[in-house]
Structure 1
Amino acid sequence: MTGGQQHDSLMARARLEGLPSGEMVLADKAYDATEIRTFVRLRGGWANIPTRRNQRDPICLSPYLYRHRNHVERFLNRMKHCRRIATRYEKHATNFLAFVKLAAIRLWLRVNASTA
């Protein structure tokens, strides 16, 4: 966990260290960096990240696969409806993760609950 004021792209390489080889990385334009793409390529993976406007050479992007990132973003938005998660009340990462799991279970039950 990083501080809320720290940009996520600064920690991207550290987060990708645990990436299994041959995996695909879906990210938004904020993660469009040569270092990230090179790191993923060296691990045998593929970075499906759209290029920023200031890039001269466009990089291949699969719009079909990029849609899946939108599903994840919408899920995270729903998770942030829980105030305890959105404001990070918990000081310890284990407690925060426990509340994230509880919120995910709550969302899953809401979507998959029987209407009968």
Structure 2
Amino acid sequence: MTSKAQDVLLADLPHETEEVIGDRGYDSNRIRLSLADRNITACIPPKKNRKSKPPYDWHLYKKRHLIENMFAKLKDWRRVATRYDRCAHTFMSAIQIAASFIFYLKE
């Protein structure tokens, strides 16, 4: 991820964000320092080749699979997966409807 993309994504985080869970691809000192400046806990496992391995909450990181599973289930909805809707607000509405059905019709 380029530094411009990092700056945009980190700037758009809501103010009430307390923790950010990311995979090894987001392990960089720049991201960690940016999050620390905003008092946000970074739960990012270090890359395997990193010399100094910063600590992270392993139990919190394990909850990341819940988010990954939700995205996998959303991709089962053809309208969401192929993004039929051109308007962002209509697309977000389709995601919210699909997420509601997934939540209430747990398999």
Q: TM-score scaled by structure 1?
A: 0.79
Q: Percent identity?
A: 27
Count of aligned positions: 106
1:28-61 Cα deviation digits (max 9, x unpaired): 1121122211110000111000111221111101
The corresponding residue for 2:29 is 34
- After superposition, residues 63-74 of structure 1 pair within 5 angstroms as 63-74=58-69
Q: Is the contact between residue 25 and residue 46 of structure 1 (CA under 8 Å) also seen in structure 2?
A: yes
Q: Structure 2 stretches of 5 or more lacking a match?
A: none
Q: 1:9 to 1:78 in 2, by over 3 A?
A: farther
Whole-angstrom CA distance in 2 between matches of 1:59 and 1:75: 28
Q: Is the contact between residue 85 and residue 99 of structure 1 (CA under 8 Å) also seen in structure 2?
A: yes
The corresponding residue for 1:110 is 105
The corresponding residue for 2:8 is 14
The corresponding residue for 1:4 is none
Q: Structure 1 stretches of 5 or more lacking a match?
A: 1-6
Whole-angstrom CA distance in 2 between matches of 1:99 and 1:8: 30
RMSD: 2.3
Q: 1:26 to 1:99 in 2, by over 3 A?
A: same
Q: Is the contact between residue 21 and residue 45 of structure 1 (CA under 8 Å) also seen in structure 2?
A: no
